[in-house]
Structure 1
Amino acid sequence: MEDINQHEGEDLNFTNRINLKPLQAHVEAIKQEIGKIIVGQNEMIELLIISILSNGHTLIEGVPGVAKTVTAKILARTLDVDFSRIQFTPDLMPSDILGTSIFNVKTNDFEYKKGPIFSNIVLIDEINRAPAKTQAALFEVMAERQITIDNNQFIMEPPFLVFATQNPIEQEGTYRLPEAQLDRFLFKINVDYPSLEDEVQILVDNHKREDQLDLNAINPVLNATDIIKYQGLIKQILVEDHLLHYIASIVNSTRNNANLYLGASPRASIAILNAAKANAAIHGRDFVTPDDIKRCTKAVLKHRLVLTPEREMEAFTVDKVVDQILETIEIPR
């Protein structure tokens, strides 16, 4: 992964059809703003930026205390758009997310009071602590960016993105998310513990700040118009036909793999395609390479694939299956 990024960061001798320098400058500015508070976690930050450019939702998983929520909040602060946060709990109801109709005695009629989901960036904290009834409230809005209530349809204002954090399923008091909901997330990002050097720097920074987290120090970099413009720019990135076949071959291989009970859907193919385009753009290229596809594939597939019970008992992992698939499929030249 690091080798790919280093290679892509080099000065490449070609002329782009599309001017990507403003996009790259804004991406670098976002990273610098986040770096004022967050130490390390470069992979998570870059994948989150890719998800924004790809117009995709992201699921962030890690043990408590590894800055999942803080990073998502700080990233949202770099975007001059509406932001809301929803803390998921076992007693949360769908109306707490979507809103509800309230009877107005003055007009003698019901009027709809919008819930916190009506925002541009929605941070759902500990999404897997709410039961299936509440999770179902997110199905329509995440897939279609609209809400239907009382026969009325409400279209979400673009951009609309969901960042959701969750603790590993082994943590006490968590529910397994339905496969249909997981499929609506572009990425699943696993956040590991920091390295020893990063953790020392975290302590140094925390000591200097006197244990205060000043989010006002984060400056906005992009507004809603900028985000929509760059999302449109990403769609213009060139992808050769043989690379489309490469993506389809990867996803198709998950459907007849002996280690998997459930393979990936065509939505996964589209997700890899869009993410690869964004990855190419932030590294200054207006065309996709096989490395862009490989870089994004694991984050796209890891939450969509289900191991067979036998493989789960053997402590096999989805990441190993994806690695095997990428090794067996010939890389197009």
Structure 2
Amino acid sequence: MKSNQITVEISDNRKEKPAFSSLQFGKTFTDHMFVMDYTEDQGWHHPRIVPYQPITLDPAATIFHYGQTVFEGLKAYLSENEEVFLFRPEENIKRLNRSCERLCIPQVDEEIALEALQKLVDIDREWIPNVEGMALYIRPFIISTEPNLDVTPSKSYTFMIILSPVGAFYKEGINPVKIAVEQEYVRAVRGGTGNAKTAGNYAGAMLAQKQSGKSGYSQVLWLDGKENKYIEEVGSMNVFFKINGEVVTPELSGSILEGITRKSVIELLKHWNVPVSERKISIDDIYDAYKNGQLEEAFGTGTAAVISPIGELFWKSEKLIINDGKTGELAKKIYDALTGIQTGKVEDPFGWRVTVQ
């Protein structure tokens, strides 16, 4: 199957676009979507861009019962010259296929997926907000569709891409958020699906997030599922700490998602000759660094928020105020560099920015 086999059906009924200044994250969707099907006898076939519409599935479809699904998230950005840019989209498709492998889902052709993604964004480019700090969120995902209650991998799947103009993921924006260290629940364990981007990881995290929200915290800091001491992620983001001049992030252990923003931050820091390391780091290490006055900054990284500074950690009834609750100098510098590359405002020495033609 070649990429030029993607068919396009343009919608006759265009939606009214919302006021971009009042957008909420993930609540509004564009006029079109991409769809492609998989069956054992045909493989992946019939790639198409069609009007955005509901889908119909058999009640026995395996997605409803065994959660065999993977997804991705990236953004399209509008430059001051009205060019449309993507940020390292090939990394998202590679990670999608790694997640597919873990969930026993047939991998997609990366060339087809990237071509479909760019075509879809180009068709709905008018939906990209022209407001600073906003973008068009892109959600590729695959669901299992075979009607079968036997606990076995599905024999049919659907791959879709939908688009959503979005504002800030956290209402706080680049301002620091308050995070509670989770001591009861865990997000994932080594050998599980923590390093895959699959729905169950997020569903299982919602209770802890809900409880922390009631206490005034934006998210939770996840600890490992075995010893309940080593830091893994913050909410649905990777996490970094600046300790005595060195930036540290938890090493990929099989239970941590390999974030594209995480990877980019590490490469950016090395480019700047800022000391950065990936290693196991415990909550006790963070507490000791805080008490010794060496915990200088902390921040989460991810596609949705890019950089989310952490101004407070709540740990064992104690509030750890980081950098006086203010955005750190390094976090701001990283945010400006990444968003500058993404929107075309600054030079891209890494070749991360992709122009949608």
Query: Normalising by the residue count of structure 2, what TM-score does the alignment of the two structures yield?
Result: 0.24
Greater fraction helix: 1
Query: Normalising by the residue count of structure 1, what TM-score does the alignment of the two structures yield?
Result: 0.25
Greater fraction strand: 2
**Larger relative contact order (CA 8 Å, sep ≥ 6):** 1
